A and B are shown apart, each in its own frame.
Chain A
Amino acid sequence: MTAATTVGAVRILGAAFFSTHHASAGDLLAGRERPLTLPSYGLLVGRARRFTSLVTQLHLEVCGALHGGAAAPPIAVFATCHGEIQTAAKLIADFHEASVVSSARFALSVHNTASGMYSVAVGSTAPTTTVTGGNAIAAGWLEASLTVLDTGQTVLLSIADEPVPAAFHGPAGLIGLAAGFLLGPESSTGRRVELAIAPDAAEPEVDAGQVLARGVSAWIGAAPATVTLGRIQVGAMLELRFAAEGVAA
């Protein structure tokens, strides 16, 4: 690949950010930490809260913040690198130690737990999907944007992850992070962003917190910005390209 491929353009109608260790996207980028703060239960009520994992709470925190931004509950795309990793650890420990698992915990162990809870909480029969894996941020943006281009409708993109338990020998030092974006077609009102697949032979380390915070900060600001979301194919990264605010589409 020698030149960037333009995927298309969408409008960001709203954005939300939550970090268990930072009060805002700006604070994360500036390295200003706060004491551990857990998300509220957002859209969850009653018994639904009891077995809800941190990653689902994070998803629903940003979904709740953006929920009022669309006329009707929108199609939703959820993205998570690690999924319900803490729930998976508890289930394995349960059957190993006691040959039994909690039905409520198992019910909420699938990667699409947050999307299911979201659709029930807001009473939405709109489709949802969940992308996962190391390139989940890029894949989530691609899936959500193509869905906007496909349907011409508003699409909610929610990206969240929780720390991986130490027993998994996975990446260390992760914190609870979530970012949500309400995306609309070019005809809607919001900050325009173009998605492009750009060649990149190197394998740059992608820090999820930095990527999510930069995306939210770029939306808040008016300056031109390029946010590299992560690898989407061999030798190519998906980028968000914000023009200076006010530049015509």
Chain B
Amino acid sequence: MTAGMTAGHVVTGAALANCLGTDSRTVFERAFAGEGPDGDAFSPASAFSEFPFPTQLGIMSGAAPSDEDVLDCAPTRLATIALASMRQLRPAVRGAVARWGARRVAYLFASSTGGIEATERWLAPDPRLPITGAGYRYADHGIDATGAAIARSLGIAGICMAISTACSSSFKALASALRLIDHGLADAAVVGSADSLCRTTIFGFHSLGLTAPTATRPFARDRCGITLGEGSACVLIERAVAATTRHGLARITGTGAASDAFHHTSPHPEGVGGQLCMRQALDRAGLRPSDIDCVSAHGTGTRLNDAAEAVAVTRVFERRVAMTATKSLTGHTLGTAGLTALVLAIESLRRQEIPATLRLAPPDDSLGVAVVGKRTPTRLRHVLVNAFGFGGSNASVVVSEPSASPS
């Protein structure tokens, strides 16, 4: 760290796109609208493809390239979805490139499924899902091709990496980005994440008995599974100096990661990995559990996941901290879920209100957690966001107001 720098990482840009909308403003308006038709954006799975079982999906529609989008990869569903949020970050990235130089801005791209949807169109043709662009290329299957193309499109020439740890992917990428900045290998980093719906995951989660036939109901008494979604989210993180803290949207104050060491797809019943990573994130933020004003839960809506996370949150916070589950709004966007919830948490800090967990009533009181069922104005300084995934891969991030400090 050189003179003039202060500890911490400033979020100077954030954007997202998903079934609620293809631009952040629309997503925020609908996410904070609460119960009602504006907030509920799920569709029957038949709107995507044919499935021999009922389920709902968070389908992102209406995304299209703009004149500014010069992307040297195929216009796959993944690329189109990724671009929808990344293009919103373009002005902020231009500022970072001007401030630090293109070679000092890193790009971390995270996804769980990558371009598998493009491969499905090739290997399992569906008339409703034609191959886009010039035809199928293996490069479009990988996670890195789309990420690297977007990095080039944004004028970034720094370190470029792709991370894939299922539903914790985007938080692992965020932690890697902070490490690059801390070790002087970058001064800024774009962390981008995208996942598209694909038949592999819809059939796959159904095979595990985890898809809900109706819209997902995290932490509700009669919750019965996941609503899969698609979307993208991205943040621009910069080294904390006067020029960046002046217009920071928020600060990333702590990150944590841990494994369950229990089962590949089922959570540890006491959320052991979740407890560890939440405590680590708090420690690194220099915060006590009582400093956290809201927990944005992983909250997938399955019986086991929500129960395990409730135990973990109860053990760590030892009080009924306010919780929200944004997957009730966006669906489960897999590798993008963490960053999606983080961008919504940043907007929560700006608005000073917690978005509703839709379809909560009646809540599962046996879980002993205080999930917010209505849009709730409140004082918010620090929000802890969870992202837990297959492989017992858990990650937590604490995001704080730009001016907030440990009490």
Q: Do A and B share a complex? A: yes
Which of A92, A171, A233 touches B200 (beta carbons < 8 Å)? Answer: A92
Q: Is the CB of B207 within 8 A of A100?
A: yes
Q: Is the CB of A169 within 8 A of B207?
A: no
CA distance A85 to B88 in the complex (A): 32
CA distance A99 to B194 in the complex (A): 26
Q: Is the CB of B143 within 8 A of A126?
A: no
Which stretch, B59-67, B154-162, B304-312, B374-382, touches the partner chain A? B154-162
Q: Is the CB of A134 within 8 A of B200?
A: no
Q: Cβ of A154 < 8 Å from any Cβ of B?
A: no
Which of A88, A107, A113, A133 touches B116 (beta carbons < 8 Å)? Answer: A88
CA distance A24 to B265 in the complex (A): 35
> For residue B208, which residues in chain A have a CB less than 8 angstroms away from its CB?
103, 106-107
Q: Cβ of B392 < 8 Å from any Cβ of A?
A: yes
Q: Cβ of A164 < 8 Å from any Cβ of B?
A: yes
Q: Cβ of B347 < 8 Å from any Cβ of A?
A: no
Q: Is the CB of A116 within 8 A of B138?
A: no
> For residue A158, which residues in chain B have a CB less than 8 angstroms away from its CB?
none
Q: Cβ of B258 < 8 Å from any Cβ of A?
A: yes
Which stretch, B7-15, B90-98, B179-187, B230-238, touches the partner chain A? B179-187
Q: Is the CB of B162 within 8 A of A120?
A: no
Q: Cβ of A129 < 8 Å from any Cβ of B?
A: yes
* Nearest Cβ on chain A to B130's Cβ, whole angstroms: 16
Which of B142, B158, B163, B205 touches A129 (beta carbons < 8 Å)? Answer: B163
Which of B142, B143, B145, B207 touches A101 (beta carbons < 8 Å)? Answer: B207
Q: Is the CB of B185 within 8 A of A7?
A: yes
> B interface, how many residues as a size bin?
35 or more
* Nearest Cβ on chain B to A209's Cβ, whole angstroms: 19
Chain A 89-127, CB-CB to B under 8 Å as 1, else 0, gives 101111110011111001111111101110110111111
Q: Is the interface of A mostly helix, strand, loop or mixed?
A: mixed
* Nearest Cβ on chain B to A101's Cβ, whole angstroms: 5
Q: Is the CB of B391 within 8 A of A170?
A: no
> For residue B204, which residues in chain A have a CB less than 8 angstroms away from its CB?
91, 101, 103, 106, 109
Q: Is the CB of A92 within 8 A of B257?
A: no
Q: Cβ of B390 < 8 Å from any Cβ of A?
A: yes
Which stretch, B24-32, B75-83, B118-126, B213-221, touches the partner chain A? B118-126
CA distance A19 to B103 in the complex (A): 36
Chain B 84-114, CB-CB to A under 8 Å as 1, else 0, gives 0000000000000000000100100000101
Q: Which residue of A lies closest to B265 (CB)?
A: A107
Which stretch, B164-172, B285-293, B295-303, touches the partner chain A? B164-172
Q: Is the CB of B259 within 8 A of A147?
A: no
Q: Cβ of A175 < 8 Å from any Cβ of B?
A: no
Q: Cβ of A131 < 8 Å from any Cβ of B?
A: yes
CA distance A73 to B160 in the complex (A): 29
* Nearest Cβ on chain B to A87's Cβ, whole angstroms: 10
Q: Which of A81, A99, A101, A143 has the most CB of B within 10 A?
A: A101
Which of A88, A111, A119 touches B166 (beta carbons < 8 Å)? Answer: A111
CA distance A123 to B378 in the complex (A): 41
CA distance A89 to B207 in the complex (A): 17
Q: Is the CB of A128 within 8 A of B166?
A: no
Q: Cβ of A226 < 8 Å from any Cβ of B?
A: no
Chain A 143-180, CB-CB to B under 8 Å as 1, else 0, gives 10011011000000000000010011111000000000
Q: Cβ of A198 < 8 Å from any Cβ of B?
A: no
Q: Cβ of A37 < 8 Å from any Cβ of B?
A: no
Which of B119, B124, B148, B260 touches A168 (beta carbons < 8 Å)? Answer: B119
Q: Is the CB of A170 within 8 A of B144?
A: no
Chain B 135-149, CB-CB to A under 8 Å as 1, else 0, gives 011100111110110
Q: Is the CB of B165 within 8 A of A146?
A: no
Q: Is the CB of A116 within 8 A of B162?
A: no
Q: Cβ of A241 < 8 Å from any Cβ of B?
A: no
Q: Which of A120, A164, A167 has the most CB of B within 10 A?
A: A120
* Nearest Cβ on chain A to B290's Cβ, whole angstroms: 25
Q: Cβ of A135 < 8 Å from any Cβ of B?
A: yes
Which of B52, B119, B264 touches A99 (beta carbons < 8 Å)? Answer: B52
Q: Is the CB of B259 within 8 A of A131?
A: no
CA distance A128 to B259 in the complex (A): 7
Q: Is the CB of A134 within 8 A of B142?
A: yes
Which of B52, B138, B199, B259 touches A126 (beta carbons < 8 Å)? Answer: B259
Given A95-B199, A117-B391, A170-B138, 18 more A-B residue pairs with CB atoms under 8 Å apart are A5-B185, A92-B116, A99-B203, A102-B207, A109-B200, A110-B390, A113-B390, A113-B391, A116-B390, A119-B260, A119-B392, A124-B259, A125-B259, A126-B258, A129-B257, A130-B172, A133-B162, A150-B179
Which 8 interchain pairs have the tightest Cβ spacing?
Answer: A116-B391, A133-B144, A106-B204, A96-B124, A111-B164, A127-B257, A170-B138, A103-B207
6 inter-chain pairs at a CB distance below 8 angstroms, sorted by A residue, are A99-B51, A109-B200, A110-B165, A116-B264, A122-B261, A127-B258
